[in-house]
Structure 1
Amino acid sequence: MSKNAATEKLAPNHHQLTEEQRQLVDRIMAFTKQQLTTKQTPAVFTITGDCGTGKSVILSQLFYELQQAAHATEPPLAQMQNYFLVNHPEVLKVYKEMAETEAHVLKKNFLRPTSFINQMQKQHQQADVVVIDEAHLLLSQPDHYNNFYGQNQLEEILKVSRVVICVFDFHQVIQTKNYWDENLLQRIVAPYKHESYHLTHQFRMTASPALIDWIDAFSRGKLQPLPKTARAHYDFRIYADAESMRRAIVTRNQAVGLSRIVATTGYPSTLDGGKHYINETGGFRMPWDQYNYTATPWAEIPATINEVGSIYTCQGFDLNYVGLILSPLLYLDQTDQRIKVDLSKKTNNEMLKRRKDITDPQLFTQMQHQIILNSVNVLLKRGIHGAYLYAHDPALQQALLTSYQKIQ
């Protein structure tokens, strides 16, 4: 894959939609035309699906077609003012880069949600069609640090839009300030005309369905025996030490590119501009990813082979091979053989920050645990051709190795 692999994946001229994807784009276009014609707005269309089910590809194609229609003469889509929103700064870079190559798709069409909301409110404007990728990253509480003073970003977007099309994956919720579940989404869209569609087919990983199921169970805390097909058409490995895994990822990166080491939170790190190292078995010592001030996504910068990626730099991106370190936060409870979260070892307070609207301590603790497990799911599914895994917790590591040896 080339340096601009992420852009090529999303650019409409570089992919061919499946029949299901084509039908879904056509259905959303028809939904949009109907709502704009009948003026039953605001209206909402939601797409749900797990990591790798092609959600972003569909949105990219959809927005391209909306922009072509906006520059034509046929109503009701002609002369529409459309926007594409994404709350992930690294993913936003990809979309802006793509905009340079597509007719009528401009960089100014792509915004962070807060920028869009503030712009519309300040100018007393209403957008026609708003497409939101990674909508599970929308803020669901005020965040003054990010200049958002409302209660929920989706609610605010609906107030200044005629039609909203958004993607949700509840298994990719990775911060309490962005916490979403199905009940919250349904409550917000209930007053409006609403349609939805659920995607199930896995496009990113070449792994067997049985291994995908194993990863899904693993990210829910269930440690099951590895399926016999874990390595069928997919390079899945468990490593006894982190340094051996790092060397294997470097070798893969030299051969095919876009191969990176990533880790779950649970190692010391602060936003002070300095380097904060992860030290693990086998002499492993690497710094966390640095804030990326460039226009190039973190995963596509060659030098980041010498950094450990986080959920903040890797969510939403395809890698050829991923090597995941499970931090001290995650451990195997040998009484019930479940993977659990030790919150006493948390190092990212912002990720698990308390919410004033959730007063039940037990409920909030469950939310924090699920957010950490969600991050495992997201990071482990980054690799198209392979995923390598190492766990800091000795009991979990031994259980993984024992299961792995049985399928060798």
Structure 2
Amino acid sequence: MQPTIDHATFRLGEKDALSPAQQRLEKQLFNFIDNQIDQPQTGLFVIHGDAGSGKSAVLEAAFHRLQAENRQHSARGTQQNYLVVNHNEMLKIYKQLAGADPVLRKKDFQKPTPLINRLAKTQQRADVVFIDEAHLLLTQPDRYNRFTGQNQLQAIIDHSRVVVLVFDPRQVLKLKSYWASDGLTPFLNRYPHASFNLDEQFRVSGNQSVVDWINAFTRGHLRPLPHDPQFDLQIFADGQPLYDRIRQRDQRGGLARMVATADFPYVVNHGTWYVTAGSLKLPWDKVNLTADPWALRPETLNEVGSIYTIQGFDLNYAGVILGPSIGYDPVHDRVVANPAAYEDQEAFKQRTDLGNLTPLKQQIILNSVNVLMKRGRYGLYLYAVDPALRRRLLAL
């Protein structure tokens, strides 16, 4: 049986409901929209939370409710509302949801640049713009993406009455969209705002010790391996047995996939490029020109996904290959990031306005590990290419 959209992503299943915290968030969000929609200044509502904390789930549910009220000719009238995400694979999911839902339209979901440019050209203001993964918005001009402004969030604010954004600086993956932990402060100082922090973990089903272990690792710290009968956390000495385990898990329940840090060469549309992990050799994920997200295509069991194909998605089990950029410092017993070994050159396109880039690059690498290690609901399998780190992990 093939997994459905609901099983793979942030959308709640028919039998599921928002948690009490998510319900409080939704109530506060709608109160904020109602209070700010007719004010002269744009209002900002910020949703904070770690990967897997249910941010996208509550955002999608709230946007669905907003559009339902809007299109049923309620007191909201005929608002022009949009949900924006700067991530191709996540946009595919949103458009698939729209195609299967009588309330939503595919045009409700946009990438930021086309929406910004259209609103600017027509000199229009949107009513409410929801921004999922706002930490992926550009913070500098980008000719490739046809964005000529200085900051996409500012451009969206300039053309909206209310902006609702999901923001987690620990999921920033490129210098051209680099946000410091206090990157929103200048906006909050200028506009009426409210915020809500989601601190529950909805994706990773393991107990708090599992979540704490992952959080510690992605900050460079090593702790004894936790044990939880509800979450399968294993370290592997070779990539092939890890992949065999993923295949077994996928055969039994679906949505088990291999993913890796961007430490292996890859050039778009130039043949097949491979990820190696000990005796394992698998191709990188291919350019996906279909309407189906990478995680939902059965043939991708034979590929290795990247942060760009898996961010924002739920897997049941994630096999994570930590490439050469993730090493080990035996003197301080720490996990370290080495930007020189990171192959994602797009992530490190130079900027002259951020000072010393080395610590920022290191943080981007660790952010990518954070994204990858929090994909699996029921299990995480790890293999480290670096021999010293691999030995240390096996000894935990």
Q: Does 1:271 align with 2:264?
A: no
2:345 aligns to what SS in structure 1?
A: coil
Aligned partners of 1:322 and 1:380 also within 8 Å? yes
The equivalent of 1:102 in structure 2 is 101
C-alpha separation between the residues in 2 aligned to 1:233 and 1:153? Answer: 41
Matches within 5 A, 1:78-97: 78-97=77-96
Runs of at least 5 residues in structure 1 that lack an aligned partner in the other structure? 404-408
Q: Does 1:20 align with 2:21?
A: yes
> Once the 2 structures are TM-superposed, how far is the Cα of residue 23 of structure 1 from its aligned partner?
1.8
Structure 1 stretch displaced more, 256-265 or 17-26: 17-26
> Once the 2 structures are TM-superposed, how far is the Cα of residue 5 of structure 1 from its aligned partner?
3.3
Q: Does 1:351 align with 2:331?
A: no
Cα 1:69–1:41, aligned 2, differ >3 Å: closer, same or farther? farther
Q: Does 1:392 align with 2:385?
A: yes
Aligned partners of 2:137 and 2:153 also within 8 Å? yes
2:144 aligns to what SS in structure 1?
A: helix
CA deviation map 1:230-256 (0-9, x unaligned): 333101110010111011101111111
C-alpha separation between the residues in 1 aligned to 2:147 and 2:7? Answer: 29
> Once the 2 structures are TM-superposed, how far is the Cα of residue 189 of structure 1 from its aligned partner?
2.9
C-alpha separation between the residues in 1 aligned to 2:188 and 2:13? Answer: 29
Q: Aligned letter for 1:46? A: V
Cα 1:50–1:327, aligned 2, differ >3 Å: closer, same or farther? same
CA deviation map 1:69-121 (0-9, x unaligned): 2123443x221110000011001111101112223310001000111101111
Structure 1 outlier segments of 4+, above 4 Å: 6-9, 11-14
Aligned partners of 2:86 and 2:112 also within 8 Å? yes
Q: Aligned letter for 2:66? A: L
2:183 aligns to what SS in structure 1?
A: helix
C-alpha separation between the residues in 2 aligned to 1:213 and 1:246? Answer: 25
The equivalent of 1:406 in structure 2 is none
C-alpha separation between the residues in 1 aligned to 2:30 and 2:291? Answer: 31
2:317 aligns to what SS in structure 1?
A: strand
C-alpha separation between the residues in 1 aligned to 2:154 and 2:18? Answer: 31
Q: Aligned letter for 1:29? A: F
C-alpha separation between the residues in 2 aligned to 1:303 and 1:371? Answer: 29
Cα 1:191–1:324, aligned 2, differ >3 Å: closer, same or farther? same
Q: Does 1:61 align with 2:61?
A: yes
Cα 1:307–1:7, aligned 2, differ >3 Å: closer, same or farther? closer
Aligned partners of 1:68 and 1:103 also within 8 Å? no
Aligned partners of 1:6 and 1:94 also within 8 Å? no
Q: TM-score, normalised to structure 1's length?
A: 0.94
CA deviation map 1:33-87 (0-9, x unaligned): 11124x1431000000001111011111111111122123443x22111000001
The equivalent of 1:381 in structure 2 is 374
The equivalent of 2:281 in structure 1 is 285
The equivalent of 2:318 in structure 1 is 322
The equivalent of 1:246 in structure 2 is 243
> Once the 2 structures are TM-superposed, how far is the Cα of residue 9 of structure 1 from its aligned partner?
4.5
Q: Aligned letter for 2:86? A: N
Q: Aligned letter for 1:4? A: I
CA deviation map 1:338-379 (0-9, x unaligned): 111222222111112211212x22xx1100000000111110
Runs of at least 5 residues in structure 2 that lack an aligned partner in the other structure? none
C-alpha separation between the residues in 1 aligned to 2:13 and 2:28? Answer: 18
Q: Aligned letter for 1:332? A: Y
> Once the 2 structures are TM-superposed, how far is the Cα of residue 128 of structure 1 from its aligned partner?
0.3
The equivalent of 2:305 in structure 1 is 309
2:153 aligns to what SS in structure 1?
A: helix
The equivalent of 1:339 in structure 2 is 335
2:220 aligns to what SS in structure 1?
A: coil
Q: How many residues align?
A: 395
> Once the 2 structures are TM-superposed, how far is the Cα of residue 207 of structure 1 from its aligned partner?
0.8
Q: Aligned letter for 1:226? A: L
> Once the 2 structures are TM-superposed, how far is the Cα of residue 13 of structure 1 from its aligned partner?
4.7
Q: TM-score, normalised to structure 2's length?
A: 0.97
Matches within 5 A, 1:76-155: 77-155=76-154
> Once the 2 structures are TM-superposed, how far is the Cα of residue 181 of structure 1 from its aligned partner?
2.1
The equivalent of 2:198 in structure 1 is 199
Cα 1:399–1:208, aligned 2, differ >3 Å: closer, same or farther? same
